[in-house]
Structure 1
Amino acid sequence: MRKRARVIYNPTSGRETLKSKLVDILDVLERGGYETSAYATTPQENSARDEATRVAREGFDLVVAAGGDGTINQVINGIAPLDHRPKLGIIPAGTTNDFARALGIPRDDLVEAARVMTKGQLLPMDVGKASNDEMTQYFINIAAGGRLTELTYDVPSDLKTVFGYIAYLVKAVEMLPQARPIDMKVTYDGGHYEGKASMFFLAMTNSVGGFEQAVPNASLNDGNFTMIIVKTGNMMEILQLLTKALNGGRHVNDSRIIYKKTRNFTVAQTDTKRPMPINLDGEYGGSAPMQFENLKEHLSIFSNLPKQQPQQLLE
């Protein structure tokens, strides 16, 4: 019986270039031995998530998330809670494509990205689980909270489409003067912190907003988040930390940073004047308080990493 693949694609991603390449993408997967079909996401809430769940339950062998980080996150949420989890493929067509960057998947050639799935190189990949009293969600790249982390979902989708990554940079410049610290309480493996912080990150790859030095020792499948807490809210100090990050990741040794590996993490806001939104893979994921757990090697994802990097070839 032929293997079945479903391409779940966002027709508005990547300045709408994905649609013109779809026939070629389907052809690559067909030649790779998959009976392939496609589904275009709709404006309906959780369209990609619900389709991923449906085809996974029908026994599809491969689900392909074609779009930006938000589309990938929805597909992850569609299959991560299930007992039977199909293989996952990525075709990056978004603005920053952090996850594809971390996996070495071509970001400037969508058809070449599809060919990655015909080479049989699978990586057992960690998945993050975020939960509170209201919801449980999953993420594959980053969870974050704090004033500056709100910028990714404050950028309108039409601006992302037209202006790409420059839209994020403009929003960051606009929001930097507002980066006042928040009173928060966090716990992590072997420690805790209670006090003011302008943001926290739980990274699962080394690429955050297109910057690969933000979390220099992040691992894709060691079962741990790489945690960063930025304790300062001073604009000049944040710029200093950013300069250190861009200059070889030297920010991780700064006293204004807490930098640790942890499997579990909880965050609560002690200042209740304004809710603390949580950012999951660049999208709004609810508000604190929230608990996070790293699910080690929870999904098998096609990658294009060099041989010397940690990975595992699966049947």
Structure 2
Amino acid sequence: MIPNLATTFATIPAASATSAIAATEPTLVLWNPHSGRAAAAGQLRQQLAALRDVRLVDTQHAEHIQQLAAEAIQQGFTHVIAAGGDGTVNAAVNGLMPLRQRPSFAVLPIGTANDFAQTLAIPDDLALAASVAFGGERRRIDVIELQTEQRRRWFANMAAGGNSDEVTRQLTREVKQRWGPLCYLRGAISVLTDLKEFEAKIRLDDGSEESWSVWNVIVANGRTNAGHLQLAPRANPEDGLLDLILIRDGELLDVPALVVQYAISDYIHSDLVRYRQARSLRFDSQPPMRFSIDGEAVDEPPTGFRVVPGALQMAVGPQYVANPPTAHPRR
């Protein structure tokens, strides 16, 4: 059994935790040098690169990350660490998921938002996060498959479609680096002045088709998106279910009320929100709705989503809780 070093390291200074990190198995670290905190983490990068049984690769782009992750087992690595943001994690997940035998997986959150790392309770302090990546408890975590007419892709955290996707498409690398997590708020400002309406048809599992007029559609495995916004506060990444959040079409004046309810309580109880759970769903909309998955735009509109239960064995932080304290509503 791999020792749970993270619990021990959480009680000692970060500098000491960094010096105590050691690899217990052949480990591939996919280091994204373009991530938001990569430059500030230079010392940690040097230390990880010097560890025995560790190969650290500076990645070039998403396809490079995906290829390296896909070849990890073949190259003799039994553990893969994605050092970057949610886009880096997503690229690695898409490299791992087609494999019949997958290495264990961990996240080192050096990106802009690091949303999935928050669901896994990975410490924001990078020295402590590194200790989790190498020695934290490991749990079987679900992954969601997104299907289009031409291909399939996977994501660990969240897919957002409709007007929320438009926010993602406005965020260049330069905007992310300049604004940090606030870049998602900046991107939302212009979208709020021109909200589009979508007529969506949705079938959950083997149920009947439902029709909704919506602004946004969110399919979640993790709990936060767009810079730690709790969009799916009741999601459990181990329950074999996806969480579906529909933001219904309304008047522009309804938006401030929804924002206030989000700020002071569980916004899913708003009359503008419908919250469902399912193992799979079929999806269609007019006009066609494009999605972003874990912060990366998808060019083709999806036709469906399904959960792959326990797909990845992942390192989690010492404060990780799979099941949120409140039960899922059926609305």
Q: Tell me, yes or no, whether TM beats 0.5.
A: yes
Q: 1:308 to 1:12 in 2, by over 3 A?
A: closer
Q: Match for 1:203 among 220, 223, 237?
A: 220
Q: Match for 1:52 among 69, 84, 91?
A: 69
Moved more, 83-92 or 254-263: 254-263
Paired residues of 2:72 and 2:103 also in contact (CA < 8 A): no
Q: 1:178 to 1:303 in 2, by over 3 A?
A: same
Q: Match for 2:53 among 35, 40, 43?
A: 35
- Which residue of the partner structure matches residue 270 of structure 1? 286
Q: What SS class does the counterpart of residue 38 from structure 1 fall into?
A: strand
Map 1:88-127 to 2 at 5 A.
Answer: 88-107=105-124, 109-127=125-143
Measure the CA separation in 2 of the matches of 1:176 and 1:307.
34
Q: How far apart are 1:211 and its partner, in Å? A: 4.0
- Which residue of the partner structure matches residue 152 of structure 1? 168
State yes or no: 1:220 paired with 2:242: no
- Which residue of the partner structure matches residue 45 of structure 2? 22
Paired residues of 2:142 and 2:309 also in contact (CA < 8 A): yes
Identity %: 27
Measure the CA separation in 1 of the matches of 2:100 and 2:57.
23
Map 1:158-307 to 2 at 5 A.
Answer: 158-189=174-205, 190-211=207-228, 213-249=230-266, 251-271=267-287, 275-306=288-319
Moved more, 84-93 or 253-262: 253-262
Measure the CA separation in 2 of the matches of 1:120 and 1:91.
12
- Which residue of the partner structure matches residue 31 of structure 2? 9
Q: What SS class does the counterpart of residue 185 from structure 2 fall into?
A: helix
Runs of 4+ in 1 over 6 A off after TM superposition: none
Q: How far apart are 1:227 and its partner, in Å? A: 0.8
1:16-65 CA distances to partner (integer Å, 9 max, x unpaired)? 323442022345xx4xxx6001111114x511101111113334111110
1:199-250 CA distances to partner (integer Å, 9 max, x unpaired)? 110111221223454222110110011110111243221332222122221x
Paired residues of 2:105 and 2:314 also in contact (CA < 8 A): yes
Q: What SS class does the counterpart of residue 78 from structure 1 fall into?
A: helix
**TM-score, structure 1 as length reference:** 0.88
Paired residues of 1:180 and 1:233 also in contact (CA < 8 A): no
Q: How far apart are 1:11 and its partner, in Å? A: 0.4
Measure the CA separation in 1 of the matches of 2:90 and 2:204.
24
Unmatched segments (≥5 aa) in structure 2: 1-23, 324-331
Q: How far apart are 1:302 and its partner, in Å? A: 0.3
Q: How far apart are 1:309 and its partner, in Å? A: 5.0
Paired residues of 2:139 and 2:316 also in contact (CA < 8 A): yes
Paired residues of 1:148 and 1:176 also in contact (CA < 8 A): no
* 2:313 aligned partner, one-letter code: S
Paired residues of 2:86 and 2:111 also in contact (CA < 8 A): yes
Q: How far apart are 1:14 and its partner, in Å? A: 1.8
Q: What SS class does the counterpart of residue 3 from structure 1 fall into?
A: coil
Moved more, 118-127 or 95-104: 118-127
Q: What SS class does the counterpart of residue 53 from structure 2 fall into?
A: strand
Unmatched segments (≥5 aa) in structure 1: 311-315
Paired residues of 1:101 and 1:207 also in contact (CA < 8 A): yes
Measure the CA separation in 1 of the matches of 2:250 and 2:77.
47
Measure the CA separation in 2 of the matches of 1:199 and 1:179.
10
Measure the CA separation in 1 of the matches of 2:70 and 2:297.
21
